[in-house]
Structure formats: C-alpha cells, structure tokens
Amino acid sequence: MTGLLFKDLLNLRKYSKTLAAVFLIWCAIYIPQGSVNFLAGMMCILTVMMAVGSMSYDESAKWDRYALAMPLTRRDLVLAKYLLALLLGVGGSLLALLIGFIASFFIPASIADLAMVTAVSLLLSLVYASIVLPFIYKLGVEKARLIMIVAFLVPYALVVGLGRVINVDLSALESASPTSLLLLGAALTALVVFISYRVSYGIFAKRDL
C-alpha cells in the first residue's frame, strides 16, 4: 500500500509544481486582501482533486493491468486511491493552516475561524472525491469529466439557489456548538467515503482490464 501511494505521489510531481505556482499567485492576491479563509478552502479542494487527477496517469499508462500482474489485489488499488485523497487533503489542510498562521502576523486573521473553514473544506473535498471516483471506475477518466464538473458545481448552485428561494429555519443549527456540527459532519463524511469505496471496489472488481 505504501508503494502504491509513493507511486502516485511521484506521478503527481509535475502537477504539484503547477499547483504550487497557483498557490503562490493566490497567496499574493488573497492574503493582502485578508481572504485567508477562502485561500485555505481552495487549497483543501485542489489537493484532494489531485488524487482524482492521478487516475488519468494510471489510465494512460494502463497501470491497473500491469499492477494486477504483481502481488496486488483490486481491493489494494481502489483503497490506495481513497487513502491518497485523504493523505493529500490532510496535507493541504496543514499547509493552509501554516500559511494562515504566518499570515496572521501581518494581517487580521482568526486562527479559530481558519481552522473551522479548513476542516469543513476538507470534509467537502472528500465528499466530492467520493462522488466522482465511482464514476471514474465505471466510465473512465475522459467520459467522467463532465460528471466531475457537474459534481463540483451543482452542490454550490443548489445551496445558493435554495437559500434564496426557501426560507429555512436554521435556529437549531445556530444553537449547536461548532464542534458538535463538525463531528457530525466528519461522521457523515466517513460514511459517504466508506459507501463510495465499496461501490468503487464493486465496479472495479467486475471490470475487464
């Protein structure tokens, strides 16, 4: 499993350099504006999406067929992708917190708010990956690209749209502690990830390579 993760990280080196350049540009733009929370959220999202991007490298190299000639199972290959998404998400979150902490010495920034935004962004990013990965295993990267875009945009559009047309009573949520809501979100995210993993493995186990 460690070898599979290391292989993916090596494949993502070129992509990570591009991502690092994007992050530096965003830091130069958003930190002076005090938008550290937005920057942290985008870091979490893009780092998790790197795991989805690694599927493209595997598909072009026909990696799965080669890997199964080694002492690896299909379960190992699927589990490695989900662990990669978690690893990259946690890494992006820690980097976001570090940048936010450093920025707080120069601009007004709440570390508590930053930590909450980062945690929520990580959970949402993992949910996004959990939605997309089964479609990639079913359709392949190229055919699933539209689904990847829709899965990214539709939830945001629904939240914004429904929030404008429906008067939702959020008093119960307002009275709950942020920690309780975060723990609930983490539990639900873990459930979504587990179901997604089972679906992805079920699809991949039946696929001809």
Instruction: Answer yes or no: are the C-beta atoms of 119 and 182 closer than 8 Å.
Output: yes
Nearest Cα to Cα of residue 137 among 197, 183, 178, 87? 197
Cα–Cα distance measured from residue 192 to residue 102, given in angstroms and rounded to the nearest whole number: 34
Tokens 């993502």: give the residue. Answer: 12
Q: How far is CA 172 from CA 176, 177, 181, 184, 189, in A?
A: 7, 10, 11, 14, 21
Cα–Cα distance measured from residue 100 to residue 44, given in angstroms and rounded to the nearest whole number: 13
Cα–Cα distance measured from residue 94 to residue 103, given in angstroms and rounded to the nearest whole number: 14
Other Cβ atoms within 10 Å of 75 Cβ, number: 12
Whether the predicted pLDDT of 160 surpasses 70: no
Q: What does the pLDDT read at residue 170? A: 44
* Ranges of each domain in the chain: 2-206
Cα–Cα distance measured from residue 151 to residue 76, given in angstroms and rounded to the nearest whole number: 26
Question: Which of the two residues, 101 and 194, has the higher pLDDT score?
Answer: 194
pLDDT tens profile 2-50? 777 877 777 777 777 777 787 788 777 777 776 777 777 778 788 888 8
Model confidence at 195, in pLDDT bands (50, 70, 90)?
Answer: very high
Q: Is 93 exposed, middle or buried (0-12, 13-18, 19+ CB in 10 A)?
A: buried
Whether the predicted pLDDT of 194 surpasses 90: yes
The contacts found for 61-66 with CB under 8 angstroms, 24 or more apart, are: 64/209, 65/209
pLDDT tens profile 114-144? 788 888 888 888 888 888 899 988 888 777 8
